[in-house]
Structure 1
Amino acid sequence: MWPGRAASARPVAPAPQRRIGPYTRVQWAGAVVVGGLALVYAAAMAVLAVRWLVSVDPLRGFLATYPGEYPLPVGAPVGIPAWLGWQHFFNVFLMVLIIRSGLRVRTEKRPTEFWMPRRDRKGKISLALWFHQALDVLWLVNGFVFVVLLFATGQWMRIVPTSWEVFPNALSAVLQYVSLDWPTENGWVNYNSLQQLAYCTTVFVAAPLAAVTGYRMSGLWPRNVPALNRAYPVEWARALHFPVMVYFVAFIVVHVTLVFATGALRNLNHMYGGQDAVNWTGFWIFIASMIVVAAGWVAARPLLIAPIARLFGTVSGR
């Protein structure tokens, strides 16, 4: 007898779910939701704990003694000059593209476009890596000009600590931020001590670290000097370079959040409008600059990068 159609049918195995790293999309979504709720709960507990702490007499006295900032040296400049606004824009523009290209280099498994110097056939690298290194060079030039102007105009006194009081005042600023009773924002005259330490660390610690680790991993590093390679192994550079990028991303997120949360119009006027006023001038300049940054992000593709790369070498496919 014919056993029927069902007897010869084979059960169809479900298609494997696509994974992003170690987890599926559903698992990532669940992790984000659970992690977000945990962060909100931890933040709420921290706010309640710090608000109780600052209500205790010793902490109230500490905040009164160290309000979050200390006086700048005599002769420190007031305000933000136009050159600093332009430097800020160039830095933002280049940093965004550096992060974008760096992530592509890190995740690119099999490059399809390559760049090679005309005089060194052994220096072949992926087009994405060439673009990342070219942006790094422009960023270093912009940073060099920034540091020179910083010390030539006295603006360094606004971001480099000039008193040991910076540390207790920075702690005071942290307590005020966490308690949601934020310190008075007056960046046109004087940054609070936490801002000063953050800016100083970014300019004089994180930026040089990004430069020296990036240079060690680049094709510009001398390969035929064993003693130098042993003194500064490439593994050290790789171990530091990515965390430095993470620091820059975290700094940008916190910095932009506080700019908007502590008086957006006035803060944007400081950096983009060159004035200490509450109007929409700086805001619209900021929006225009973000459009330029977004256009650069979209344009950073091999189709547009390749013609530029050909000016400095040879571009080829796989």
Structure 2
Amino acid sequence: MSGHLDRFARPCFEGVTSNDDRKDRKSDFEVSEEDRKTRIGNLKKKAIKASSKFKRSLKKKSSRRKSGISLSIKDFRDIEELQTVDAFRQALIAEQLLPARHDDYHMPLRFLKARKFDIEKAKHMWDNMIQWRKDFGTDTILEDFDFCELNEVLKHYPQGYHGVDKEGRPVYIELLGKVEPDQLMRVTTLDRYVRYHVQEFENCFAIKFPACSIAAKRHIDSSTTILDVQGMGYKNFSKAAQDLVKRLQKIDGDNYPETLYRMFIINAGPGFKMGLKAVKSFLDSKTASKINVLSSNYQNKLLEIIDASELPQFLGGSCTLLIREVV
């Protein structure tokens, strides 16, 4: 059910705020709908304000400290990548394909990486992305779309962010063995879920990644993902599930490349490992190298990447939470 390997971007922004905010942090699995909206709204204002200040500080080649938020972010750039991005930018500008909102260095770089730094191929991919955004209404989806059935959806598709890894990337968790595709399609529609999926990607780039970057003092535009496949079986591969995966996979691969840093698939039995091995043979080596398949003895590996205080107890960490949408 998880879609393309470079997806994994979901709601809520816990684990990327100030020290005071972190003291009473909850996860997506714990908060009520009213609390979730209030806290997201408050953090959205903070993140957008901080992100705006951060962008202005980059233009002036200086860092500022306002409202107690440090805006000094390390952003080391490879000289060859820098030159290629500049050449790519000039090619896009020449064809009026570079809106100001996407001219941030890192977004063109992700598309170049997705096409192995072939500028012509990356330009074609970029052109298609710009057209898709116009057709889909992506630029205004944060304001235009209300996914009012979210709480019901989470009952049949347990998912959410919880904390950050040791390098400051948001950690996204899905419990795939508990997904109920047929029930999911009774509380929403395929088209509405796809719009929600795109909206949450836009949320990530507008709020979550900038907030994580500010908190970690380094540029962040990718996530660490944990997929728990315990209990996964044929019921999870219904026609509805397959249709949804295909739609998401197409959107993610074409429009949101290089946003997965690493993936851990846990509680994977022998059959699942064999199936994934076959799937990996169709993936490029870079993507395949991001996937770590672990059995039930996964806790130590996760704790190498994620501090215990940032990992929920049910995955071997020390962070307590009520798994309201998971059980």
For Structure 1 versus Structure 2, the TM-score category normalised by the shorter chain is under 0.3
Q: When the two structures are superposed, what TM-score results if normalisation uses the length of structure 2?
A: 0.26
- Which one has a larger percent helix, Structure 1 or Structure 2? 1
Query: Which has more radius of gyration?
Result: 1
Higher share in strand: 2
* TM-score for both structures, normalised by structure 1: 0.27
